[in-house]
């Protein structure tokens, strides 16, 4: 169909109003139309004021696309004509529609950047009249944004960067002069038109200030007047609006965003200027906090914007804040005022997220602050008292904010927000430990003692739980001992959230309790285990998890209560929930492993008989998800410390797995077998034949990745000690390879496991490769196919095995090496994602090192790359020759070869000269 204005208008109409199938066809055709040379003409016909908004927007979008993608179609002598048309179009649509105006402004910005920003002032001079202020501000706003998003060559990007850096001070000075009108005394609120222009000016300032975050926009002291003007606008709008909303709120957010961008420069070189900026910001924020820091505040959004700005400035200038707060000079007041405001923000009244949604914005600041304090402490070897005060107050605030409202008061979404919020509190609590040390537990105990409701006590327990990883090893400060005692009492008597948190505390402090080699520690451990067991009827999941952790660490108390734990694992409640039973069986296994053999043996026989019966029932009805096999694996995993018990259990369970060799049950069967071998290791010799037979039957039913893990363990540990091992290895590899070959992309986990097993055997037991000698040709072909998979794990596994094979069996690989080399080159050229380049480089290095007989990588590379447009049309003959030389030369350094492969991949993908290529290569050099 001809690309005429009429046809284009019809296609746009179909795209917006037609049926789904017709819309897809119209979109494809309109996209093609944007790339044809005739588009330079028809866009102006479609950009007439009498056309519909959809037509105008399509024309403006097409113009932007042409300037970005087809700039080479515009001869230099036509640049001025195009500039004039663009300026006229921008002026014509200055009153809207807004989406068309914005797209035209972006097109003008792209035009300016394609010319290297040669004379920005001259190009924009026609828009400098007072009536065009908003239009000029919009164009200026999108220029830095377009610079960051445009794809351009390195030379053009450097030219534009230099030009924009030179223009930035003048642009910001003009914006300052304009914004200084904010200082005028208004006898009434400013008019809406003025406020809208402030929004445009603040947005423009933020765009230019964010352009060069490394400080090229000038030192921070030079930006302070502009920040003052921006903050003056915030103060004025707040003064004239009881509830700051709509455009006024947009202006405040834009102004604060621009201040944050201005503060992001010279973060360490100008501490005095940073403190001046903090002083201005605090002076703006303090009245808002004083008036509106309350639950369900009418200015929640403004408070959030102020907090975000305070946090951003504080994090950027954390060094100045720390030194200012510690000093007794001029910097002390603004630094401490900032800390007070942020503590106030963290302590926002009400429950999150029911009454406020701003205290979550401060968490990141405390990490930055404590990190800076600890850095300073490395040179001074002391922590100033001011920080003990700040972080003690912070910890008290975190306990208070951790208090949860009743669950009935929260929706499901709010409950999830609260869960994430409390996790953030737990993370922030850890920042206090480096400053306060053991004082943290004293503070939490004081909060528990002061709490007058169960919810507040639960909040103290939650913060106590967060401190578990920092509990001092083999030392028992009294507050920890007391708080754990409170958790034990809560686990015995409470319910709901309090019970769950108390049980989490018992499990998390299990390692600390176990390390206390005192009589008091043994008594506390016994109390914890008993309390967790007693809580099973009231909180099955939380109690079972706590019991598993306690039994794994606290051997003596667990052994003493082994009969009770086994009985709990056999209860009806445990049988009704597979996950709970797995935890309880794991706990039972740990308890039995620690108990006296005379006590443990009959209890284990009881468990084994029960599990065997469960396995038989599951085998009779495979559709039942009883989880018997998973439960058996959990018990086995807890018994390695007692091989005799473990072997006895396995001898009972294995005969009942015979019926599991069917497609529905083979996966859990392999999990049991894997756990059996990994738990017993050499001690499972009496069971190897049985395990081998079950494994072979399982593979005949359905090859799985878990089954290949079992084969790998058997082959590596027992090897040729057993006559049946070569046959097992051969059959499992053959069946797995056949399954993968049928649909490589359909079983990526199986493919990854297959080549992982082959690699392990090739590297550790290369003689065993003889067992699958007749399969090697088929496996190499399959590996060459899987190298091209998009699933990174499978492709990497295939590359690594083929590389290992090249080292030990080059003769087996050589017949397939030309096709394998071509496949690797196709992947490097773009057939697979860019993040899979490294294993391909390792494969090429292995092929280059291999001792092939008659043929080498050099010949195979030249043969493959001799094909025109291979791997892609972007690969030129010089680039191919350079790549071949770099690969053949390198036989030792994987890093250097990876750089060459990365560079050739960028060439093949047409990315050379782009910003992505520059950053990618720079990152490689940085890492190396």
| Whole-number Å distance between alpha carbons of 255 and 258 | 5
Return d(Cα 835, Cα 853) in angstroms, integer.
Answer: 33
Buried b (16+ CB within 10 A) or exposed e, 394-403: bbbbbbbbbb
Task: Give the Cβ contact number of residue 641 at 10 Å.
Answer: 14
Q: Could you give the CA distance from residue 429 to residue 434 in angstroms, rounded to a whole number?
A: 10
pLDDT of residue 123: 87
Question: Given this model, what pLDDT does residue 925 score?
Answer: 47
More confident residue, 128 or 286: 286
Task: For residue 175, give Cα distances in angstroms to 121, 215, 224, 328, 471.
Answer: 14, 19, 13, 37, 55
The pLDDT assigned to 220 comes to 84
Q: Long-range pairs for 79-86 at CB < 8 Å and ≥24 separation?
A: 79/115, 82/111, 83/111, 83/123, 85/44, 86/111
Which H or E element spans position 487?
A: helix 478-493
What pLDDT does residue 915 have? 54
DSSP 848-859: HHS--SS--HHH
pTM, entire model: 0.82
Mean pLDDT value across residues 445-463: 95
Cα atoms found within 13 Å of the Cα of residue 914, Cβ hemisphere only: 13
User: Average pLDDT of 749-762?
Assistant: 96
**Alpha helices, H only, 93-219:** 98-114, 120-124, 133-149, 154-179, 192-209
pLDDT for 347 beyond 50 = yes
Q: What's the full length of the chain, in residues?
A: 928
The residue that leads in pLDDT, 283 or 181, is 283
pLDDT band at 378 (very low <50, low <70, confident <90, very high): confident
Q: Is the pLDDT of residue 323 over 60?
A: yes
> What average pLDDT score do residues 693-709 get?
95
- Provide the pLDDT for residue 928: 39
On the question of pLDDT at 806 being above 60, the answer is: yes
pLDDT of 152 reads: 85
Where does the pLDDT of residue 927 fall: very low under 50, low under 70, confident under 90, or very high at 90 and above? very low
DSSP, collapsed to helix, strand or coil, labels residue 788 as coil
What pLDDT does residue 130 have?
A: 82
User: Which of these ranges, 212-216, 221-225, 234-238, 917-921, has the smallest mean pLDDT?
Assistant: 212-216
Please write the tens of the pLDDT for every residue from 389-412. 999 999 999 999 999 988 777 888
Confidence of residue 926 (pLDDT cuts 50, 70, 90): very low
Q: Has residue 6 got a pLDDT over 80?
A: yes
Which of 126-130, 262-266, 727-731, 884-888 is predicted least confidently? 262-266
Question: Do residues 480 and 471 touch, judged by C-beta distance below 8 A?
Answer: yes
Residue 215 has pLDDT above 50, yes or no: no
What are the residues whose beta carbons fall under 8 Å from the beta carbon of 434, sequence distance 6 or more?
Answer: 370, 374
pLDDT of residue 218: 64
* Overall average pLDDT of the 218-239 stretch: 89
Q: Taking residues 474-485, report their average pLDDT.
A: 91
Cα 420 to the chain's mean position, in Å?
Answer: 15
Given a contact cutoff of 8 angstroms between Cβ atoms, the answer to whether 619 and 579 are in contact is no
Residue 519 pLDDT grade (very low, low, confident, very high; cuts 50, 70, 90) = confident
The pLDDT, as a whole number, for residue 465 is 96
- Residues of the chain with pLDDT > 90, as a percent, come to 71
Kindly state the DSSP code that residue 827 receives in the 8-state scheme.
Answer: I
Question: Given pLDDT bands bounded at 50, 70 and 90, which one contains residue 619?
Answer: confident
Give per-residue pLDDT as tens, 89-139: 999 998 889 999 999 999 999 999 998 877 788 888 888 888 888 899 999
Least confident range of 374-383, 501-510, 659-668, 682-691: 374-383
What confidence score (pLDDT) does residue 142 get? Answer: 95
Res. 326: pLDDT tops 90: no
Overall average pLDDT of the 623-648 stretch: 87
User: Judging by beta carbons within 10 Å of its beta carbon (0-12, 13-18, 19+), is residue 453 exposed, middle or buried?
Assistant: exposed
CA torsion angle 388 394 396 399 (round to 10): -140
Find the Cα–Cα–Cα–Cα dihedral 109, 110, 115, 120, rounded to 10°: 10
pLDDT tens per residue, range 166-185: 899 999 999 998 888 766 65
Give the pLDDT confidence of 837-893 residue by residue, as tens digits.
999 999 999 999 998 887 789 999 999 999 998 999 889 999 999 999 999 999 888
Query: In terms of pLDDT, which residue wins out, 883 or 617?
Result: 883
How many other C-beta atoms lie within 10 A of the C-beta of residue 885? 13
Provide mean pLDDT across the span 579-607: 94
Q: What is the mean pLDDT of the chain?
A: 90
What's the pLDDT tens digit per position in 534-546? 999 999 999 999 9
Torsion 910-915-919-925 (CA) sign: positive
Euclidean distance between CA atoms 272 and 250, whole angstroms:
30
Query: Span 622-645, mean pLDDT?
Result: 86
| The pLDDT value given to residue 190 | 76
Q: At what angle do helices 454-466 and 496-508 cross, to 10 degrees?
A: 20
| pLDDT tens profile 783-805 | 999 999 989 999 999 999 999 99
If we measure between CA atoms, which residue out of 72, 81, 87, 78 comes closest to residue 123? 87
Q: What is the pLDDT of residue 186?
A: 62
Query: Rounded CA gap, 160 and 110, in Å?
Result: 11
pLDDT at 772: 95
pLDDT at site 327 = 82
pLDDT of res. 805 = 96
Among 812, 730, 824, residue whose Cα is nearest residue 786: 824
- Calculate ∠ Cα 461-465-466, nearest 5°: 120
Residue 265: which pLDDT band, with cuts at 50, 70 and 90?
Answer: low
pLDDT of amino acid 381: 65
Q: What is the DSSP string of 731-754?
A: HHHHHHHHHHHH-GGG-HHHHHHH
């Amino acid at each position: 169909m001809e690309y005429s204005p009429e046809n284009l208008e019809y296609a746009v109409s179909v795209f917006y109003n037609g049926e789904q199938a017709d819309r897809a066809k119209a979109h494809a055709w309109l996209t093609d139309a944007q790339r044809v040379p005739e588009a330079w003409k028809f866009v102006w016909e479609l950009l007439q004021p009498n056309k519909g908004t959809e037509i105008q927007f399509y024309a403006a979008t097409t113009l932007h696309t042409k300037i970005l993608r087809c700039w080479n179609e515009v001869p230099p002598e036509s640049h001025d004509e195009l500039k004039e048309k663009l300026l006229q179009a921008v002026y014509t649509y200055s009153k809207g529609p807004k989406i068309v105006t914005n797209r035209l402004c972006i097109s003008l910005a792209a035009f300016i950047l394609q010319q290297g920003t040669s004379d920005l002032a001259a190009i924009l001079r026609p828009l400098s009249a007072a009536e065009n202020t908003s239009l000029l501000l919009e164009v200026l706003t999108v220029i830095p944004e377009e610079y960051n998003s445009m794809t351009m060559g390195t030379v053009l990007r450097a030219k534009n960067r230099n030009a924009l850096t030179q223009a930035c001070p003048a642009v910001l000075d003009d914006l300052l002069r304009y914004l200084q009108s904010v200082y005028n005394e208004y006898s009434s609120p400013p008019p809406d038109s003025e406020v809208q222009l402030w929004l445009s000016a603040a947005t423009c300032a933020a765009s230019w200030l964010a352009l060069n975050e490394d400080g090229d926009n000038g030192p921070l002291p030079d930006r302070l007047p502009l920040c003052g003007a921006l903050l003056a606008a915030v103060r004025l709008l707040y003064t004239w609006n009881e509830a700051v909303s709509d455009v006024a709120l947009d202006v405040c957010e834009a102004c604060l965003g621009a201040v944050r961008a201005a503060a992001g420069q010279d973060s360490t070189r100008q501490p005095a200027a940073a403190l001046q900026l903090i002083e201005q910001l605090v002076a703006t924020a303090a009245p808002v906090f004083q008036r509106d820091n309350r639950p369900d505040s009418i200015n929640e959004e403004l408070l959030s914007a102020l907090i975000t700005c305070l946090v951003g400035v504080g994090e950027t200038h954390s060094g100045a804040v720390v030194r200012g707060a510690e000093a007794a000079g001029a910097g002390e007041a603004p630094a401490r005022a900032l800390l007070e405001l942020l503590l106030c923000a963290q302590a926002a009244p009400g429950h999150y997220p029911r009454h406020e949604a701003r205290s979550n914005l401060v968490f990141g600041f405390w990490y930055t602050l404590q990190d800076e304090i600890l850095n300073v402490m490395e040179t001074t070897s002391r922590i100033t008292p001011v920080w003990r005060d700040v972080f003690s107050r912070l910890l008290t605030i975190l306990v208070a904010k951790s208090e949860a409202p009743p669950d009935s008061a929260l929706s499901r979404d709010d409950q999830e927000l609260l869960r994430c919020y409390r996790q953030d509190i737990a993370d922030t609590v850890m920042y206090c430990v480096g400053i306060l040390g053991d004082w943290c537990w004293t503070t939490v105990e004081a909060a528990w003692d002061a709490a007058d409701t169960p919810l507040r006590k639960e909040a103290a327990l939650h913060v106590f739980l967060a401190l578990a990883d920092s509990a001092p090893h083999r030392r028992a400060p009294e507050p920890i001992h007391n708080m754990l005692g409170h958790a034990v009492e809560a686990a015995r008597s409470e319910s709901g959230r309090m019970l769950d948190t108390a049980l989490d505390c018992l499990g998390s402090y299990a390692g600390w309790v176990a390390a206390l080699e005192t009589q008091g520690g043994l008594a506390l451990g016994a109390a914890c285990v008993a309390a967790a067991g007693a809580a099973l009827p009231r909180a099955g999941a939380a109690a079972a998890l706590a019991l598993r952790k306690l039994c794994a660490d606290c051997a003596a108390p667990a052994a003493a209560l082994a009969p009770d734990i086994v009985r709990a694992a056999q209860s009806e409640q445990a049988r009704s929930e597979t996950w709970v039973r797995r935890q309880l069986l794991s706990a039972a296994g740990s308890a039995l492993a620690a108990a006296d053999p005379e006590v443990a043996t009959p209890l284990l026989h009881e468990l084994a008989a029960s599990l065997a019966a469960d396995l038989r029932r599951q085998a009779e009805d495979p559709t039942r998800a009883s989880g018997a096999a998973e439960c058996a694996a959990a018990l086995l995993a807890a018994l390695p410390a007692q091989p005799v018990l473990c072997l006895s259990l396995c001898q009972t369970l294995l005969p009942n797995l015979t019926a599991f060799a069917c497609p529905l049950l083979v996966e859990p069967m392999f999990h049991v077998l894997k756990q059996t071998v990994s738990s017993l290791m050499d001690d499972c010799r009496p069971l190897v034949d049985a395990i081998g037979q079950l494994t072979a039957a399982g593979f005949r039913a359905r090859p799985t990745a878990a089954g290949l893990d079992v084969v790998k363990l058997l082959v590596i540990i027992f090897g040729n000690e057993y006559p049946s091992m070569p046959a097992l290895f051969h059959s499992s590899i053959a069946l797995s390879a056949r399954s993968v070959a049928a649909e490589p992309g359909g079983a990526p986990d199986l493919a990854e496991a297959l080549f992982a097993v082959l690699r392990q055997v090739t590297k550790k037991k290369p003689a065993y490769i003889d067992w699958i000698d007749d399969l090697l040709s088929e496996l190499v072909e399959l590996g060459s196919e899987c190298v091209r998979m998009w699933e990174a794990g499978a492709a990497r596994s295939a590359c690594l095995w083929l590389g290992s094979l090249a080292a030990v069996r080059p003769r087996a690989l050589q017949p397939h090496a030309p096709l394998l080399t071509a496949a690797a080159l196709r992947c490097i050229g773009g057939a697979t994602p860019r993040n899979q380049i490294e294993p391909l480089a390792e494969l090429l290095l292995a092929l280059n090192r291999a001792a092939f007989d008659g043929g080498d990588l050099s010949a195979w590379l030249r043969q493959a790359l001799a094909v025109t447009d291979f791997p892609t049309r972007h690969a030129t003959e010089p680039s191919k020759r350079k790549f071949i030389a770099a690969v053949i030369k390198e036989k030792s350094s994987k890093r250097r070869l990876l750089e060459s492969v990365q560079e050739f991949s960028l060439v093949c993908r047409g990315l050379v000269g782009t910003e992505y290529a520059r950053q990618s290569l720079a990152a490689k050099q940085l890492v190396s």
